[in-house]
A and B are shown apart, each in its own frame.
Chain A
């Protein structure tokens, strides 16, 4: 079974631009969660989508948004990019709603550099 895939793998943008990242979950998985990883802040939860609805949200500004399609694929959008948005963005899929006992499988990530 194919794993979680993310595109693109690398991206360079300039301040003020916007970016859209894509994540395809493992076949049959209905939940997609997004995380930001930086050396300073570590791994931080952005949000989770399940059945095309945002179910949970971390402490990030409204510039960070996402959506999920009927085939469970998800996109994350960051508007008005700031230098501090440079990070590795990881998505993770799980069979059901990510919860207390649900295993999350991570994709390889998209490395975003904002200049």
Chain B
């Protein structure tokens, strides 16, 4: 089942902060975050693992709440380059199918 992301879209000014949430109705063992700019391929940002381990981006932080089956991506002091669509993804069906959320469109304005 596809993860749910919120908000669907957000508009910020440079320097402002944003939080993007990803939740699932099924148990999460890890959450992967990607950013895709228009016309480009998704780019890896971060993996959050059960137990708290994180792998990824220096300037972006995230949390993973196993009990709530939810992950949040924190973008602080946003820059113009942060604009794009953010996807969370997770393995479903016992690791047989990687499922992406619908995406959150982030626009950072000068």
Contact = CB atoms under 8 A, between A and B. Distances in A.
Interface of A: 4, 33, 35, 42-45, 48, 56-59, 90, 98-101, 103-109
Nearest to B100: A43
B81 interface: no
Contacts of A35: 100
Given A43-B100, A100-B29, A103-B47, A90 B95 contact: no
Interface stretch (B10-18, B38-46, B60-68, B70-78): B38-46
A108 to B, nearest CB: 5
Contact of A57 (B30, B43, B96): B96
A45 B41 contact: no
Contacts, number: 61
A44 B97 CA distance: 9
Given A99-B91, A99-B95, A105 B44 contact: yes
Contact of B55 (A45, A58, A99, A101): A101
B103 interface: yes
How many chain B residues sit at the interface, stated as a range, is: 20 to 34
A33 B99 CA distance: 12
B41 A109 contact: yes
Given A56-B97, A101-B30, A101-B47, A43 B87 contact: yes
Contacts of B103: 42-43
Most buried by B among A59, A101, A107: A101
A45 B99 contact: yes
